[in-house]
C-alpha cells in the first residue's frame, strides 16, 4: 500500500509539472511564465516529500486526518494561489489537533520555501522588496512565501506567560537550506535542529532569545539586512563559516554550549559579541574579516579561541574578555587599535606573525603561560618610538629596545637599551640586564640589574634575586626577592604592555 501511494503521488506530481509546462509555453508575460514554472516544480517536489514521509505519520494519526492531509497537500500542489493559501491554513489547523502530523507539515512548508527560492524570478522579487522597489506579484509567490513563513514562526515560538501555549509545536527541526527569507523573525522560537546553509536573509532578521537544542548551521548564508542573535542559545555545534553580514550583527549575551565556527565569515559593519559565552572546546574565527568595529567585551571562551589570519579593519575591543583555553591570534591583522585591557588568559596567548598597526592595550591583564610575540609587527608604534629615540628620548629608547627584543631583533634592541641605561633609565637597565642574562653574559647582566635594583625597581630586584640564586648566593638572593615583594610596582604584564603606548 505504501509503495502504491508513492507511485500515485509521484505520477500526479509529474503530470502537474507537464501540464504547467504547457501553460508556460502559452503565456505571454515572462515573469508570470517563470512563476507558473516555479509552482509546477513545487508540485512535483511536494509529491515526493509526501511520498517519503507518508509512512512516518500513518501509524499515529486518525484515518480521517490522513485523508484530509492528502487532500490538502494535493490542493497545495495543484490549486490556484488562493487555494494554496487556504490549503496551508487548513494544514496548520489539522496539525494543531493532530500532533503526529506536525513534523510533516513543517517539512512541507520548509520544502515549499526552498523550492520557491530556487526561482530566479522569485529571488529577484525578494531583492526588489528589500530595496523597496516592489514588482507586481503576478503569480502570488510572495504571498505564498509570507504565509508559509508566518505559519512556521507562529508554531516555533514559545508564547509569553499566559499566552496560547497550544500554538507552540515542540521538538521541531527546520531545513531551510538555500531558502530566500524576508524579514524572518524567529525571536523566542524553540527549534531542535536548524539548517540554513546558503540561505539568504533579506530585510531585518531576528533570532533574539531563540533556542536551538541541536545543531544550527548557517554556513554560506547571506544576511542582507541587520540580524540579531542576542540572548540566543545553541546547545549543539553551530557554524557561520563563510557567512556574509552586510549590515552587521548582534550576538550580545549569546550562549554556545558546543563548538562555534565562524571561519571565513565577512562582516561589512559593526559586529557585537559583548558577553558572548562559548562553552565548547573551540571557538574558531580563523580568516574572518571584520570591516567594521568588532566588540568582544566580557566575552568568555571556555576552550580554545582561534582568530588566526583574522582581519580587524576597525577598532577591536576584548576588554574584560576571559580566555580559559589557548588564545590564538597568529597572522592576525589589526588595522586600528586592539584593546585587551583587564582580559584574562589562562593558557597563554599567541600573536605570532600578527600585525598591529596602531596600539595594543593590555593593561592589568591576567596571564598564565607564555605570550608569544614572535615576529609580531607594530609598524606605527615602532616608528613613533624610533623617531622619539633618535631625538634623544631615553624613555623612547627603552620602549623601542623592549619592542625589538620581543620581536627577536636582539642586536638592535641591545644598542637602544644600552644607550637608555647609560642615560640613567632604571627600566632600561632592567631590560638590558635581562637581555644579557639570556645571552649568558651573567657578570654584565648582574651589574645592570644591581644598579636598577638599587634604584628601586622591583622587577630588577626579582630578576637579580633569581640570577643570584642560580649562582648559589642564596642569602643575598632571598634578601632581594623579599625586598621586591614589599615594593609596590607595576606587574609584569603592565610593564610589558607599556611599550605599546605613545611616549608622553
- List the CATH number of the domain containing 340: 2.160.20
Q: Mention every residue, 6+ apart, whose C-beta is less than 8 A from residue 439.
A: 410
Contacts of 125 (CB under 8 A, 6+ apart): 134, 135, 137, 141, 142
Q: Is residue 318 part of a domain?
A: yes
CA separation for the pair 201, 183 (Å, rounded) = 7
Contact 332, 354 (CB under 8 A): yes
Q: What is the pLDDT of residues 2-37, one digit of tens each?
A: 444 444 444 444 434 433 333 333 233 333 344 444
Q: Is the pLDDT of residue 353 over 70?
A: yes
Is 398 domain-assigned? Answer: yes
- Sequence-distant (≥ 6) Cβ neighbours of residue 488 within 8 angstroms: 458
Q: How far apart are CA 63 and CA 66, in angstroms?
A: 5
Distance CA 86, CA 74 (A): 12
Question: Does 172 fall in a domain?
Answer: no
* 337 lies in the same domain as 486: no
* Model confidence pLDDT, tens digit, residues 294-324: 999 999 999 999 999 999 999 999 999 999 9
Handedness of CA 137, 139, 142, 146 (dihedral sign): positive
Instruction: Identify whether residues 144 and 227 lie together within a single domain.
Output: no
- Exposed, middle or buried by CB within 10 Å (0-12, 13-18, 19+), for 370? exposed
Our count of domains for the chain comes to 3
140 and 71 in a common domain: yes
Domain assignment present for residue 177? The answer is no
> Which of 336, 351, 377 is at the close of a domain?
377
Q: What is the pLDDT of residues 251-299, one digit of tens each?
A: 999 999 999 999 999 999 999 999 999 999 999 999 999 999 999 999 9
The answer for residues whose C-beta is within 8 angstroms of residue 268's C-beta and 6 or more apart is: 244, 245, 246, 247, 248, 291, 292
Q: Tell me, yes or no, whether 422 and 489 share the same domain.
A: yes
Residue 174 lies in a domain: no
Same domain membership, residue 99 and residue 196:
no
**DSSP H or E run through 300:** strand 300-301
User: Rounded CA gap, 37 and 30, in Å?
Assistant: 11
> What is the mean predicted confidence (pLDDT) over 75-93?
90
What is the rounded distance in angstroms from the CA atom of residue 49 to the CA atom of residue 61? 18
CB 341 within 8 A of CB 363: yes
In angstroms, rounded to a whole number, what is the distance separating the alpha carbons of residues 430 and 486? 18
pTM, entire model: 0.71
pLDDT at 154 over 60: yes
Same domain, 277 and 402: no
**What CATH number did the domain enclosing 466 receive?**
1.25.40.10
Q: 377-422 pLDDT, tens per residue?
A: 777 777 777 888 888 888 888 888 887 887 778 888 889 999 888 8
pLDDT of residue 121: 61
**Closest alpha carbon to 305 in 290, 275, 325, 279:** 325
Average pLDDT of span 229-244 = 97
Domain boundary among 352, 377, 402: 377
CA dist 197 and 217 (Å) reads 6
Angle made by CA atoms 280, 281, 287, in degrees to the nearest 5: 100
Share of the chain above pLDDT 90, in %: 45
Mapping DSSP onto H, E and C, the string for 231-286 reads: CCEECCCEECCCCEECCCEECCCCEECCCEECCCCEECCCEECCCCEECCCEEECC
* Spatial separation of the C-alpha atoms in residues 305 and 324, rounded to whole Å: 9
Of 377, 406, 428, which residue sits at a domain end?
Answer: 377
Same domain (yes/no): 366, 320 = yes
Q: Cα dist. 136→29, 38, 133, 242, 288 in Å?
A: 12, 16, 10, 33, 39
Residues 155 and 187 in one domain: no
Is there a single domain that holds both residue 208 and residue 67? no
Contacts of 58 (CB under 8 A, 6+ apart): 66
Q: Do 20 and 125 share a domain, yes or no?
A: yes
Q: Which residues contact 473 (CB under 8 A, 6 or more apart)?
A: none
Cα–Cα distance for residue pair 63/146, rounded to 1 Å? 30
Mean pLDDT for the stretch of residues 424-437: 88
Shared domain for 302 and 276, answered yes or no, is yes
Structural domain that includes position 404: 393-500
If DSSP codes are grouped into helix, strand and coil, which group holds residue 305? strand
Residue 45: pLDDT band with limits 50, 70, 90: low
Amino acid at each position: 500500500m505504501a509503495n502504491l501511494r508513492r507511485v500515485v503521488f509521484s505520477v500526479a506530481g509529474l503530470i502537474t509539472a507537464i501540464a504547467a509546462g504547457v501553460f508556460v509555453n502559452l503565456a505571454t508575460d515572462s515573469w508570470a511564465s517563470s512563476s507558473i514554472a516555479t509552482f509546477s516544480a513545487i508540485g512535483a517536489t511536494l509529491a515526493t516529500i509526501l511520498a517519503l514521509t507518508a509512512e512516518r505519520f500513518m501509524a499515529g494519526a486518525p484515518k480521517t486526518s490522513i485523508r484530509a492531509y492528502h487532500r490538502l497537500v494535493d490542493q497545495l500542489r495543484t490549486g490556484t494561489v488562493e487555494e494554496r493559501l487556504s490549503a496551508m491554513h487548513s494544514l496548520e489547523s489539522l496539525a494543531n489537533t493532530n500532533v503526529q502530523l506536525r513534523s510533516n507539515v513543517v517539512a512541507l512548508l520548509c520544502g515549499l520555501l526552498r523550492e520557491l527560492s530556487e526561482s530566479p524570478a522569485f529571488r529577484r522579487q525578494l531583492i526588489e522588496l528589500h530595496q523597496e522597489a516592489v514588482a507586481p506579484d503576478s503569480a502570488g509567490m510572495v504571498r505564498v512565501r509570507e504565509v508559509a513563513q508566518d505559519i512556521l514562526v507562529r508554531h516555533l515560538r514559545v508564547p509569553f506567560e499566559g499566552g496560547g501555549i497550544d500554538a507552540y509545536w515542540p521538538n521541531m527541526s527546520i531545513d531551510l537550506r538555500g531558502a530566500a527569507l524576508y524579514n524572518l523573525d524567529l525571536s523566542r522560537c524553540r527549534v531542535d535542529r536548524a539548517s540554513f546553509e546558503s540561505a539568504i536573509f533579506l530585510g531585518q532578521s531576528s533570532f533574539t532569545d531563540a533556542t536551538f537544542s541541536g545543531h544550527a548551521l548557517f554556513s554560506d548564508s547571506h544576511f542582507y539586512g541587520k540580524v540579531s542573535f542576542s540572548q540566543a542559545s545553541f546547545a549543539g555545534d553551530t557554524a557561520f563559516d563563510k557567512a556574509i553580514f552586510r549590515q552587521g550583527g548582534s550576538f550580545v549575551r549569546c550562549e554556545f554550549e558546543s563548538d562555534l565556527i565562524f571561519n571565513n565569515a565577512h562582516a561589512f559593519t559593526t559586529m557585537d559579541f559583548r558577553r558572548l559565552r562559548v562553552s565548547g572546546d573551540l571557538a574558531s574565527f580563523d580568516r574572518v574579516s571584520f570591516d567594521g568595529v568588532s566588540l568582544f567585551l566580557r566575552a568568555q571562551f571556555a576552550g580554545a579561541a582561534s582568530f588566526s589570519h583574522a582581519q580587524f579593519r576597525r577598532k577591536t575591543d576584548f576588554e574584560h574578555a576571559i580566555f580559559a583555553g589557548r588564545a590564538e591570534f597568529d597572522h592576525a591583522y589589526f588595522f586600528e587599535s586592539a584593546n585587551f585591557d583587564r582580559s584574562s588568559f589562562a593558557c597563554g596567548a599567541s600573536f605570532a606573525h600578527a600585525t598591529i598597526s596602531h596600539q595594543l592595550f593590555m593593561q592589568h591583564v591576567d596571564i598564565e603561560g607564555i605570550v608569544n610575540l614572535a615576529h609580531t609587527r607594530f609598524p606605527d608604534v615602532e616608528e613613533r618610538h624610533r623617531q622619539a629615540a633618535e631625538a634623544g628620548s631615553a624613555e623612547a629608547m627603552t620602549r623601542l629596545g623592549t619592542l625589538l627584543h620581543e620581536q627577536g631583533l636582539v642586536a638592535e634592541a641591545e644598542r637602544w637599551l644600552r644607550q637608555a641605561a647609560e642615560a640613567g633609565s632604571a627600566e632600561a637597565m632592567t631590560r638590558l640586564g635581562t637581555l644579557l642574562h639570556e645571552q649568558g653574559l651573567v657578570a654584565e647582566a648582574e651589574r645592570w640589574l644591581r644598579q636598577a635594583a638599587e634604584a628601586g625597581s622591583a622587577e630588577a630586584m626579582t630578576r637579580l634575586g633569581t640570577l643570584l640564586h642560580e649562582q648559589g648566593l642564596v642569602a643575598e638572593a632571598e634578601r632581594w626577592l623579599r625586598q621586591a615583594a614589599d615594593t609596590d610596582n607595576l606587574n609584569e604584564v603592565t610593564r610589558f604592555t607599556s611599550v605599546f603606548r605613545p611616549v608622553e
